[in-house]
Amino acid sequence: MKKIATFGEIMLRLAPEGYNRLFQNDRLVSTFGGGEANVAVSLAGFGLDSKFISKVPYGEIGQAAINSLRYFGVDTTDIVRGGDRLGIYFVEKGASQRPSVCIYDRKNSAIATADKQDFCWQEILSDVGWLHFTGITPALGDNVYDICLDAASVAKSMGVGVSCDLNFRSKLWSREKANKCMSELCRYVDVCIANEEDAYDVFGIKAADTDIVGGKLDGKGYEGVAKQLAEKFDFKMVAITLRSSISASDNDWSAMLYTDGKFYHTKHYHLHIVDRVGGGDSFGAGLIYGIMTGKNPQDMLDFAVASSALKHSIEGDFNRVSVQEVQRLASGDSSGRVKR
């Protein structure tokens, strides 16, 4: 099977221990993460050949980021080295009524200041069968948008499938800018992934009868969203994750898929959250796994949502689960009984 390439930023992630607030004591848990890196790790964990593309600085910090990917077997040989710094983000885990907090210190990172010439996509994609990126990557700057556009168009021209997770981040760009850029990029995208808010934030497409802050979501209400998205950009597939936030500790989680004119829905998982960062990425990875291994739409959706349900029980950005574990959950055993 050809490799799956993901393109984006990997950052140093700094989080207080347990439910501490930031700097409540003198320890930070330091790991690495970032939307597309998370997808690459997840796919490697599923046994597929994944490859992460980015620009990462020389030195101890950049090397540690790369090593953290190699640990899982992700191919890092096409990562461009150079630039001034690795982006950093601080994550504080929420609980009960207290929301999680993310603070970004990612400006002027190596990838955010990368140049189009840094990446030769013909070469990078020569052993690649699928390319994935999220809306965070083009939001890093016009230069990165250009690189992203280059990647997507070259992929298209080479017959490489392309998936994109809309992933709107209001701290990185405006809705208008996102609309403009993502519209351009989506021309090359085969599979579009979104959460319950993205379609509206980026393209102004709203679900019927939904109250996101109030925490009530209705899968049915998103059928229209998926259909509109698919038709607007001629996507082969649109997948939408649906998070009902009861509190920072409890979420309901499900997803829906639209492909070939049909809608697919999953069961709802009631999640006790350990760490929700990377939840969407683990869904994307599950979906790509399903596509690459030829699952039927319902199975790939069930696999993707089970994959992401498990992610919520795992510390850090990376989803440390095996195909067997996801399959077991997807096939109905959610009792959490001890494996012994």
- Per CB under 8 A, 314 contacts its own copies: yes
Q: Which of 231, 315 has the CB closer to its own copies?
A: 315
User: What's the sign of the alpha-carbon dihedral 258, 263, 267, 269?
Assistant: positive
- Residues β-bridged to residue 263: 258
What x/- string results for residues 135 through 174 when contact with its own copies is judged by CB under 8 A? ----------------------------------x-x---
Indicate whether 274 belongs to the interface with its own copies (CB under 8 A): yes
Q: What contacts 24+ positions apart, CB below 8 Å, involve 71-74?
A: 72/41, 72/44, 72/45, 72/318, 73/44, 74/37, 74/40, 74/41, 74/44, 74/50
Of the ranges 138-146, 221-229, 288-296, 320-328, which one interacts with its own copies (CB under 8 A)?
A: 320-328
> Per CB under 8 A, does 260 bind its own copies?
no
Query: Looking at 37, 139, 242, 271, which residue binds its own copies (CB under 8 A)?
Result: 271
Closer residue to its own copies in complex, CB, 165/190? 165
Whichever of 6 and 31 has its CB closer to its own copies, that residue is: 31
Binding of residue 24 to its own copies (CB under 8 A): yes
What's the closest the beta carbon of residue 83 comes to its own copies, in angstroms? 12
Minimum distance from CB of 325 to its own copies (Å)?
Answer: 7
Q: Is 294 in the site for its own copies (CB under 8 A)?
A: no
Task: Give, rounded to a whole angstrom, the gap between the first and last alpha carbons of the chain.
Answer: 34
User: What's the Cα-to-Cα distance from 294 to each of 245, 290, 301, 319, rounded to whole Å?
Assistant: 32, 6, 12, 22
In single-letter form, the type of residue at position 163 comes to S
Report how far apart, in Å, the C-alpha atoms of 198 and of each of 28, 93, 115, 170, 194 are.
31, 22, 28, 11, 6
Judge whether 193 and 283 are in contact, CB under 8 Å.
yes
Q: Least Å distance between CB 214 and its own copies?
A: 7
Site residues for its own copies, 42-101, by CB under 8 A, read 59-61, 64, 67-68, 70-73, 84-85, 88, 90, 92, 94-101
- CB of residue 138 to its own copies, shortest distance in Å: 17
Does position 262 interact with its own copies (CB under 8 A)? The reply is no
What Rg value do the Cα atoms of the chain yield, rounded? 19
Assign 135 to helix, strand or coil. coil
Name the one range near its own copies by CB under 8 A: 112-120, 124-132, 223-231, 307-315: 307-315
Q: Helical H runs in 189-248?
A: 198-203, 223-233
